[in-house]
Structure formats: C-alpha cells, structure tokens
Structure 1
C-alpha cells in the first residue's frame, strides 16, 4: 500500500472547476484503429502496470496531436501547493461523457480490458472510462515529479451509478527524448533495498494502465529533453 506521507498528486478542486467550465471540443474520429482481436494487454507488473501497444495507429496519433495543439492549453504553475508534487506541463481538461464512451468502445479498450484474464485487479465491476478527459503536453524541461494518483468517487452515466476510479489510463501520442514514466516499487520488507525502478518508455499509440488509489505505486513523468510528449488521460471506472 502506498504510504500517505509521500507527495500527493496534483489533483484538486481547481481541476474539477476547470473541467466543468470547459466546453467539449469536436474530437476527431477515432479511426483508423487496430481491431481489438489483433491487440494484446501486456503485463509489466502483475496487478499494477499494464500496456496495450498500438492502441492508436500512427495516423490517428498524428491526427490527434495536430488537433490537440489547437486546444486552449494552460501551463501548470511551477510551484505546487503544499503536499502536492511539482508538475510543469501544459494541459487541457474537460468533462465529456460522450467522448469517454467513444474512447472506451471504439478504441478496443472495452473488449481488451473486459477480456483480461484477472478481472479482480480492476477493483470491481467495470463501467467504462472517467468522463473527465485530460490532455497533457510536455515540452523540453517539463516533467511531473514523483507522486501518487488518487482514486476519485463519481456518479457514472445517465443512471448516476455510484462509482470510483481505480486505474489511470495514459495514451501516448508521440515519442520524444526523455519523458518516460518511472515507477518505484516498495521493498517487500522494512529495511530491505528497494527494487529497481520500472521505467516505461514512450511509444506513440501505446496505452498505459496503472493502478491508483491506496495501492498506487510512487511514479513520475521524467523530464523531456527534446521533442514534445503528448498524452491523452482518463481512468477506469468501477461500480462501488
């Protein structure tokens, strides 16, 4: 279980306010995509880190990167609030349940995640993706310091089902020099040397899923040295 004394994620009420005020954009079509039956959920660390390569095709990544660059991105402050990790990037955030349903169904994620052999790792009955959609751009010198991602409670769908988020979803749209996501597992026993970090390199089109909430691993988005790192972010939602 992640120790609560470590830096918290930059998740705050201000994020929710920003999302509620943003108008959903006219997202490009999610096409072309690789059929779900040709994709695979790969386990990087059991119960914690999963990846899906080629979730977005190269042409879809290019289309989305071009489109997202037209959105009104806001640069996060370099000085974090007390108890939050330092994050320096450009971001856009919006509540868009229509797009979250499209992303869940049309990308192949729904089929892939629902057919994963161990459903218990997701923490409950899967409902879909968090309608709170975030876009991140990291330019050279930008990064997200070590932090944890919190679980969020919400009322999901038209029926307002009581739900919560359990896994972070990051879809990488570009590659760059630097910008890797590094995870820091804890030692199995107090006093032991911590395991080596698990570093997930950027692959354009790859989806990264990692568990968050109380069992979240400490992790960071390393500094981008050159190029740009574009990420589409949501979360897996389960019934509570």
Structure 2
C-alpha cells in the first residue's frame, strides 16, 4: 500500500504505520513531501493509494476531479503552527523585530503550496509584517523550513508543532485565531477503491489507539 503524506505528518504516520502493520500484516510504503507536490503527481497518475494532505482543499479538488473513491474524504487531524528556534525562546516580539532589523530572516513553507506556510503568512500579516517579505526564506514544506532554522541559516522558522514538541530548541505557539484553522484531510484514491489494505488503514486511523498516537504528536483529532 502506497501512502502519500504531507511532510508535517511524517513522524506520526511512521508510528501509525508500524502499529497497523503489526496488527494487520500489511506493509505501507510511505512517501513524504509537500501536499502541493503530491497533488500534482496524483493528477498526473502517480500510483498512490492514500493521500494524507496538510489541508482540505487538495483532497476536495481531487474528489471534484473524480480521482477519489466516493465517500472516503475525512479530516484526520487539526494542525498547530509553531515558531521554533535552536537558540532562544521566540515570541511575537521576536517576529516584530523583523521590522527593526532588515538583516534578520524567518523561514516558512511557501504559502502558495503549503498550508502551514499560509498560516505563517497570516500570522506575519496579523502582526503588520507583510512589508518584511524580503526577509522571508521560503521552503518547499515545513520540513525544509525546519531545516533552515536548524542549520542556523535563519534564527527562527515556522514549523508544525508536531515537529518540535518533543525535541530540542525552543518554540512559541501563535494564537490560533491569528490564522485559518489547519484541517488536514485524507482521501482514498479511486485506483485503490478495492484495496483492502488501504481501506483497512483508513478505518484504523479512526480507532482510539490511532487517535491517541495522533494526539501524542501534537495534533487535535476531530470528533468521529
């Protein structure tokens, strides 16, 4: 079973896959990248069975293109944006310093393609920092945004809370009313509508053990 998963959800997906494989005997082949990249690949016929996006728009668009199995789209997690640094605890004031220091930079996923990047852009706009765009270092996804900040090439970066909640460094969680809720949808692709392993995994992620794994990694889970 081939699973395409948004980069922000790669770590919890590995944990979910291990648990599902142990109880089912099925094997998952996991690919991680930006949701936008997977969306383009699936439109071009890439042979994935399940698509775990970082947003709702792309699974919905695939559904409208009749590329998905009917009635399989659902929200599997609600994401949380974090501002992370290796060196010091960031805050809203840290972001506001961009306006006073034109050499300072902040990493974020490209808002055109990545939902967490769009959320980061909205936080910056909420703080009146739209004019600092020349100081934004854009990654393809939140994994690359994290890499930019981890390398020290930028002082801090916007990432997914799940990437940093149990690791090194320091983070700050912007208020959730500063950005559009990050609702992450999964969909079974039409080419896999008769695949028992894929349908089984889609059912598994709704079970209490799977929901506990998702919550452990810093996500909220919707009501069944």
Structure number with the higher helix fraction is: 2
Q: TM-score range by the shorter chain?
A: under 0.3
* TM-score relative to the length of structure 2: 0.23
Q: Which has the higher contact order (CA 8 A, sep 6+)?
A: 2
Between structures 1 and 2, the one with greater strand share: 1
